[in-house]
């Protein structure tokens, strides 16, 4: 049997375009002699649709588009994710189309409600009788949707007992570093456990903070990977499979008969790819994920140009380089805004990077703005000494200029703060935090360096000047300022943050890993106090299991501390 795993990049809410994308992939698969074409979870409307599901007009249009996809499903069986509405109740469903009509529907059983997921807000789970089996040319086929495969008592368990030979899973499984290998272990383990061929079709593309990496795959009944689709790109992966004999004594209930497509001349297809996923620590995978998330956010929100405040530091260098790679240099402009504090080398390094990337640049000194603000505020500040307030005026002057350019040019401002800084509040609200997308807000500082080194090692030579990579990190808001004046070195800070934010470890367990107790206490204090800043930040692309924003939901008003007892 010939399968097609259609790893597509839908846009949430763009129903007509999603239909056209699905129909085009169906035609491609049909032309290759495919019997069954599998699409991702909620492919019709895009994942996650969130409160669009509360709009009656959205649901009506989605149903109409489902009917149009059904009509296009001739001479092929199509399994497509969408929303089913029955008696005023919504279900996350897999629709089975064949012969130009809908022949069956499978509802999702296990609705995730953790981390970035909140499906129970919208959907009802499948009932006991909502797991039909299908027969296609004598092969017993079962379906499931994303989370159904991750739980130990999902639909596949009952299907296997009933003799399933081929199991199809529709997914919208978001990316974080290392997730591809976790999924592969799951898919191969389930296939081997239940003695069936397992096809997993995942969404690809960016949706707000989330990145979907694709990585669709097919595993054999012995757990062998038969094919894996390349991550981070749309593709139609065609795989020839030979379903094994059923393990059970027979099917408990008569399966739904699917019309077998008429025999067609079999087109020769190349052997399916088997793409090895790198280790979670591989910076190249993270870089590609950030490129995809940035590009889709930019294009799906109909921007035509991007602005980056280029300071001569490593964070803004990485963001500018990602933008040039993801969007094309002609769509990116660097804005250099030196102050009286900025070193000459910072401006020179920023100019060198802009030239290497082939991006336009503006040089807008902020000294006149800062002096005007200080003069205006002088009467209100009388009798008070200089402190961090004056430093932040500089940052907010830059934010003012960036947002003015954004208004005038209709351009997307890319914020440049990293996860380490955002964690401890080492950022200026309405200053360097200003922007429409925080590209590296989930990238720890130590990983920022690794990503830059990786990018400089790509074919074509280095683009980020070595001076940017080797200078001590500094906000340059006061003379001779270094990040280490306020923070531990990043090789100490980042592991503490990982333990506290990703692992939720208490103070004493972090200290037990060999960190100074006073340092850990101060880091935790800073993380907790900065929550109000983070919840006013631009959305940030997620590349770790516990990103700020949709992944970590802490109250702003919160009096709990590690010293509560």
Exposure of 437 in the CB half-sphere (CA atoms within 13 A): 31
**What are the CA-CA distances from residue 353 to residues 324, 328, 348, 361, 467 (Å)?**
11, 15, 9, 10, 10
Q: How far is it, in rounded angstroms, from Cα 200 to Cα 91?
A: 20
Give the active site residue among 6, 41, 84, 147. 41
Catalytic residue list contains 41: yes
Q: Give the other-Cβ count within 10 Å of 96's Cβ.
A: 25
Strand, coil or helix: 101 = strand
Q: 3-state SS of 145-201?
A: ECHHHHCCCCHHHHHHHCCCCEEEEEECCECCCCHHHHHHHHHHHHHHHHCCEEEEE
Give the active site residue among 6, 45, 84, 108. 108
Output Rg (C-alpha) for the chain, integer angstroms: 26
Q: 3-state SS of 15-84?
A: HHHHHHHHHHHHHHHHHCCCCEEECCCCCCCCCCCHHHHHCHHHHHHHHHHHHHHHHHCCCCEEEEEEEE
Q: How far is it, in rounded angstroms, from Cα 142 to Cα 163?
A: 9
Sheet holding 166-171, edge to edge: 225-228, 217-219, 197-202, 166-171, 139-145, 134-136, 256-257
Q: How far is it, in rounded angstroms, from Cα 375 to Cα 372?
A: 5
Burial of 99 (0-12, 13-18, 19+ CB in 10 A): middle
Q: How far is it, in rounded angstroms, from Cα 372 to Cα 367?
A: 9
Q: How far is it, in rounded angstroms, from Cα 252 to Cα 164?
A: 11
List CB contacts of 201: < 8 A, sequence separation 6 or more.
Answer: 5, 6, 7, 38, 39, 40, 168, 169, 170, 171, 216
Give the active site residue among 6, 45, 110, 146. 146
Catalytic residue list contains 108: yes
**What are the CA-CA distances from residue 513 to residues 262, 487, 493, 495, 507 (Å)?**
64, 19, 13, 10, 10
Strand, coil or helix: 2 = strand
Q: Give the other-Cβ count within 10 Å of 178's Cβ.
A: 18
Q: How far is it, in rounded angstroms, from Cα 321 to Cα 452?
A: 9
Strand-pair category, 134-136 with 256-257? parallel
Among the listed residues 393, 416, 443, the one whose alpha carbon sits nearest the alpha carbon of residue 538: 416
Exposure pattern of 228-260 as b/e (b: 16+ CB <10 Å)?
bbbbbebbbbbbbbebeebeeeebeeebeebbe
Strand-pair category, 197-202 with 166-171? parallel
- List, by residue number, the catalytic residues: 41, 108, 146
């Amino acid at each position: 049997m010939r399968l097609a795993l259609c790893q597509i990049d839908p846009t949430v809410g763009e129903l007509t375009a999603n239909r056209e994308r699905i129909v085009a992939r169906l035609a491609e698969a049909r032309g290759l002699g495919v019997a069954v074409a599998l699409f991702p979870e909620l492919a019709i409307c895009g994942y996650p649709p969130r409160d669009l599901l509360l709009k009656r007009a959205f649901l009506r249009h989605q149903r109409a588009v489902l009917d149009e996809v059904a009509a296009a499903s001739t001479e092929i069986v199509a399994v497509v994710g969408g929303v089913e509405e029955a008696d005023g109740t919504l279900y996350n469903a897999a629709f089975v189309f064949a012969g130009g009509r809908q022949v069956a529907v499978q509802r999702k059983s296990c609705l995730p409600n953790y981390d970035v997921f909140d499906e129970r807000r919208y959907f009802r789970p499948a009932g006991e009788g909502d797991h039909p089996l299908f027969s296609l040319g004598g092969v017993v086929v079962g379906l499931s949707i994303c989370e159904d495969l991750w739980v130990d008592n999902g639909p596949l368990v009952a299907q296997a007992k009933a003799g399933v030979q081929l199991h199809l899973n529709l997914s919208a499984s978001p990316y974080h570093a290392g997730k591809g290998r976790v999924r592969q272990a799951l898919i191969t383990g389930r296939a081997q456990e239940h003695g069936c061929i397992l096809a997993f079709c995942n969404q690809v593309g960016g949706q707000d903070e989330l990145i979907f990496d694709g990585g669709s795959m097919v595993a054999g009944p012995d757990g062998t990977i038969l094919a894996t689709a390349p991550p981070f790109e749309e593709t139609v992966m065609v795989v020839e499979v030979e379903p094994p004999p059923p393990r059970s004594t027979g099917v408990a209930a008569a399966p739904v008969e699917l019309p077998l497509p008429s025999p067609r001349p079999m087109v020769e297809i190349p052997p399916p790819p088997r793409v090895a996923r790198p280790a979670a620590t591989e910076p190249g995978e993270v870089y590609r994920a950030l490129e995809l998330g940035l590009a889709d956010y930019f294009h799906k929100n109909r921007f035509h140009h991007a602005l980056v405040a280029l300071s001569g530091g490593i964070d803004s260098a990485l963001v500018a380089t990602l933008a040039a790679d993801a969007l094309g240099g002609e769509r990116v402009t660097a804005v250099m805004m030196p102050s009286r504090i900025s070193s000459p080398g910072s401006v020179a390094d920023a100019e060198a990077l802009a030239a290497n990337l082939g991006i336009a640049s503006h040089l807008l000194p902020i000294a006149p703005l800062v002096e005007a603000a200080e003069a205006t505020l002088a009467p209100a500040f009388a009798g008070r000494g200089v402190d961090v307030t004056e430093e932040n005026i500089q940052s907010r002057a830059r934010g003012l200029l960036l947002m003015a350019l954004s208004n005038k040019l209709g351009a997307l401002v890319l914020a440049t703060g990293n996860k380490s800084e955002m964690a401890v509040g080492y950022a200026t609200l309405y200053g360097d935090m200003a922007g429409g997308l925080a590209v590296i807000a989930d990238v720890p500082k130590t990983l920022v360096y690794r990503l830059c080194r990786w990018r400089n090692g790509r074919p074509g030579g280095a683009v980020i000047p070595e001076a940017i990579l080797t200078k001590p990190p500094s906000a340059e808001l006061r003379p001779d300022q270094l990040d280490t004046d306020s923070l531990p070195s990043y090789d100490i800070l980042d592991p503490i943050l990982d333990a506290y934010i990703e692992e939720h470890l208490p103070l004493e367990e972090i200290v037990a890993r060999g960190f100074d107790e006073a340092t850990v206490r101060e880091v935790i204090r800073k993380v907790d106090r900065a929550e109000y800043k983070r919840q006013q930040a631009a959305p940030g692309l997620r590349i770790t299991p516990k990103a700020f924003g949709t992944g970590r939901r802490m109250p702003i008003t919160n009096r709990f501390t590690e010293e509560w007892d």
